[in-house]
Amino acid sequence: MGERARGAVPRGFESLKLTDIRNDDLHAGIDPNGDGQPAGGEPLGEPRSQVKIVIPPDHSMVSLLGSGDELLHVVEREFAADIHVRGNEITATGTPAETALVTAFFDELVDLLSKGADLTPDAVERSAAMLRAERGVRPADVLTVGILSARGRTIRPKTLNQKRYADAIDKHTIVFSIGPAGTGKTYLAMAKAVKALQAKEFNRIILTRPAVEAGERLGFLPGTLYEKIDPYLRPLYDALHDMLDPDSIPRLMGAGTIEIAPLAYMRGRCQPVGTPVLTPEGWRPIGELAVGDLVIGSDGEPTPVIGVYPQGEKDIYRLTTQDGASTLCSGDHLWAVATRDDRRRGKPLRVLTTREMIGNLRKAHYHRYELPLHTAPVRFPHRQVPMDPYALGLLLGDGCLTGATTPSFATQDAELAAALGELLPGMQVRHKIGPDYVLNRVRTPGEVITIENPVTGVARRLGLLGVRSETKFVPGDYLFNSADVRLGVLQGLLDTDGGPVTQQDRTCRIQYTTTSPRLRDDVIFLVRSLGGVAYHRVRLAFGRAPGLANGRPVAHRNDAYVIDIRLPGGVQPFRLGRKLEKYHVAAGGRPMRFIDSIEPVGTAECVCIAVAAADSLYTTEDFLLTHNTLNDSFIILDEAQNTSAEQMKMFLTRLGFGSRVVVTGDVTQVDLPPGQVSGLRVVQDILDGIDDIAFVRLTSHDVVRHRLVGKIVDAYERYDARERHAQQRIGPAGRQGKRKGG
């Protein structure tokens, strides 16, 4: 017998006394019944031992043995030993190994009672099985682990594998739980999710299932979406109601804190197929993107598309920011946002759906949700350009490129004229009168052939020859170019037709004015591509008081577009000394972009994409940053054996930062169409062995429903094994002959 059976006091239970009593007659193997078996049923001649276990007086024998000795009968069935009870003493007689097990077993039961666990026949059976099967494992350490206390009871693991499953969820980002029905795969994952939500480890719980029985085409079913999906998600609802106050569940679901949806709907964070997305080559409709294509991320760098998922017809909303930027998206599309409190407390961005923010866009007089801006200028490939970008900006601002006369430039700042002359090789910027300068080509001595003015030639190649103030624009080769080129053009435009604007007790903003609607849009593009924001308004020509030119009134012929600009720190908006000094003295403020409105606009064919960027953000229309990956979420994919390989990949690649995923399923109960491989089977071969991903396999011994369920599972496994063995013995030729003979 072991040390504990010879009188050692178990841990934490000094009042529990164990006594080893050896009996010579028993040890000799007397056969009192003449049937070849000694008393106790052990084989004749087997060493016998008797152990007396004294239960501490502070433990009720009724609690230990059950009402009407219900639990004692279970113990007698589980151990091959004679067990007798008198008062608070329990005597066990049998082989030394068996009595040692009985001693350790009652030690565990006392420990379970001391830790507040309720003893049931099921718990007693599981404790006995655990003690026999696992060396070094104490049932009290498994069955007393509390996962969640909810509605007057505590949810705990009931088997060793279930405890390992719960521990794996705590230690890994992705956990696959594979096993037969009734093993608590979904229930324990749900308990872990609710516990984590209550502890504010995650912002939301997302529960999803493939509705394969309806082919994930639920439109033919009557009722609302939730009425249609209810039969497929009912087990998730039932588990949720076991763990939360039923009155709080509609509120949490309405706020998006808990989301329950079929897999096909869960991924529906999408945009209409025609929505422009920024790529290194320019804007492309999202519906034309394919896996491997590059789009622009929040750091301005290209990031590959790793998933494209058509979504069908969806309800569409237009989200507009206070600076006039807007884009189209579905109600479930995800946005990374920050509130004023988030900024003040240094909290990370939170992720909300479009629908969650509707009707909640303002707090007091402030916009509630701020969108992130690019952390660095967008990086387009560098292109060779025929004219220095700053010089082009100066000419677009104060130059004359009509083609009817020699190109000219008008400015009161001699500094700008000198800079233009330095940047145009082979050209002379000759002062004419007042603010007017003429751009002449430097002729060589003796030259008699008329050669085109270089500035005129460049303007012709760029499509700028003949433009006037109301039709000027920035050529595409300058817009979709490196950050240095774009900044140079913007600096030239701001040095001529822009400037710093200061107000008392406010930071300095930059203002730019043009009469060209196309140039207005190009300036806004340049600002946003550099990580800034631009607000614009119009001053109508009609009804405006005329301006003055040399003292005479001049009527306004065109509307003027005024753009107020904020650029991020480190981006120099001017080169002209007087403007740059004023800007630095007043200090430019931080650019900010807030959501201003969300309005329904109908329905459209949609698609969603997943990108490889670390924060999952990509650049959509008007340089808005958005994404469709699930951050800060506890996500449970139930019945995963009914996902296809493509669906499983889609689901896993949606994983965002700060999220945890639990995937559950039973690979023996696949409802997919014939010939289609379960994504849960495939993923085991693909991901097994990767760090931070765990596979937990539960068996029939972990079934926590009616005891017959485990036996049924075992019976089916034995039947399947016999069938496989029989098929292997017959062989392909035998099976074919059998079919013909039949």
**Residue 120 pLDDT more than 90?**
no
**Residue 498 pLDDT more than 50?**
yes
Counting Cα atoms < 13 Å in the Cβ hemisphere of 698 gives 34
* Residue 724 and residue 660 share a domain: no
* Residue 65 and residue 23 share a domain: yes
How far apart CA 587 and CA 565 sit, in angstroms, is 13
Q: Which two tokens stand for residue 15?
A: 């009042």
Task: Measure the N-to-C terminal CA separation of the chain; round to a whole number of Å.
Answer: 62
**Residue 587 pLDDT more than 90?**
no
How far apart CA 202 and CA 350 sit, in angstroms, is 10
Question: Which CATH number covers residue 132?
Answer: 3.30.1370.10
% of the chain with per-residue pLDDT over 90: 41
* Residue 606 and residue 582 share a domain: no
* Residue 94 and residue 16 share a domain: yes
What's the CA dihedral at 423, 429, 434, 436 to 10 degrees? -80
pLDDT computed for residue 227 by the predictor: 45
Inside any domain, residue 153: no
* Residue 199 and residue 110 share a domain: no
* Residue 726 and residue 696 share a domain: no
**Residue 475 pLDDT more than 80?**
yes
Facing residues of 148 across strands?
A: 155
How far apart CA 117 and CA 59 sit, in angstroms, is 13
pLDDT computed for residue 467 by the predictor: 94
- Asked if 596 contacts 357 with a C-beta cutoff of 8 angstroms, the reply is no
Identify the H or E element spanning 680: helix 679-687
- Report strand pairing: 204-209 vs 258-262: parallel
- Pick from 646, 716, 736: nearest CA to 180: 716
pLDDT computed for residue 230 by the predictor: 52
Inside any domain, residue 251: yes
pLDDT tens track for 561-585: 999 999 998 899 999 999 999 998 8
Q: What is the DSSP string of 283-297?
A: EEEGGG--TT-EEE-
pLDDT computed for residue 2 by the predictor: 36
pLDDT tens track for 513-557: 999 999 999 999 999 999 999 999 999 988 888 888 778 888 888
Quickly state the pLDDT bin for 106 (edges 50, 70, 90). Answer: confident
* Residue 460 and residue 558 share a domain: yes
**Residue 39 pLDDT more than 80?**
no
35 or 402, which is more confident: 402
Q: Helix or strand or coil: residue 544? A: coil
Quickly state the pLDDT bin for 212 (edges 50, 70, 90). Answer: low
Q: Helix or strand or coil: residue 438? A: strand
* Residue 282 and residue 184 share a domain: no
Question: Domain range spanning residue 495?
Answer: 389-444+451-591
60 or 8, which is more confident: 60
Counting Cα atoms < 13 Å in the Cβ hemisphere of 446 gives 0
pLDDT tens track for 14-25: 334 344 444 444
* Residue 252 and residue 183 share a domain: yes
Quickly state the pLDDT bin for 140 (edges 50, 70, 90). Answer: confident
Q: Helix or strand or coil: residue 73? A: helix
How would you class 411 by CB atoms within 10 Å of its CB: exposed for 0-12, middle for 13-18, buried for 19 or more? buried
Q: Residue 659: phi, psi to the nearest 5?
A: -105, 160
Q: Helix or strand or coil: residue 208? A: strand
Q: Give Cβ neighbours of residue 32 (< 8 Å, ≥ 6 apart).
A: 38, 39
Counting Cα atoms < 13 Å in the Cβ hemisphere of 293 gives 22
% of the chain with per-residue pLDDT over 70: 84
Inside any domain, residue 609: yes
Q: Encode burial over 362-373: b for 16+ CB neighbours within 10 A, e otherwise.
A: eeeeebbbbbbb
pLDDT tens track for 342-351: 888 888 787 7
How would you class 712 by CB atoms within 10 Å of its CB: exposed for 0-12, middle for 13-18, buried for 19 or more? middle
Inside any domain, residue 661: yes
- At position 143, the amino acid (one-letter code) is L
522 or 162, which is more confident: 522
* Residue 513 and residue 494 share a domain: yes
Identify the H or E element spanning 734: helix 707-741
489 in the Ramachandran plot: left (φ > 0), alpha (ψ -120 to 50) or beta? alpha
Inside any domain, residue 381: no
Inside any domain, residue 457: yes
**Residue 222 pLDDT more than 60?**
no
- Pick from 206, 199, 141, 216: nearest CA to 634: 206
pLDDT tens track for 675-711: 888 999 999 989 988 999 999 999 887 787 666 766 7
Identify the H or E element spanning 326: strand 326-330
pLDDT tens track for 275-333: 999 999 999 999 999 989 999 999 999 999 987 888 888 899 999 999 999 999 998 88
- Asked if 559 contacts 519 with a C-beta cutoff of 8 angstroms, the reply is no
* Residue 671 and residue 526 share a domain: no
Question: Which CATH number covers residue 473?
Answer: 3.10.28.10
Among the residue ranges 135-149, 291-305, 419-433, 500-514, the one predicted with the least confidence is: 135-149
100 or 731, which is more confident: 100
Domain count for the chain: 5
pTM: 0.66
- Asked if 63 contacts 116 with a C-beta cutoff of 8 angstroms, the reply is no
Facing residues of 321 across strands?
A: 595
Inside any domain, residue 136: yes
**Residue 32 pLDDT more than 50?**
no
Inside any domain, residue 235: yes
Mean pLDDT, the chain, as a whole number? 83
* Residue 642 and residue 554 share a domain: no
Question: Which CATH number covers residue 619?
Answer: 2.170.16.10
Other beta carbons less than 10 A from residue 57's beta carbon = 10
Question: Which CATH number covers residue 218?
Answer: 3.40.50.300
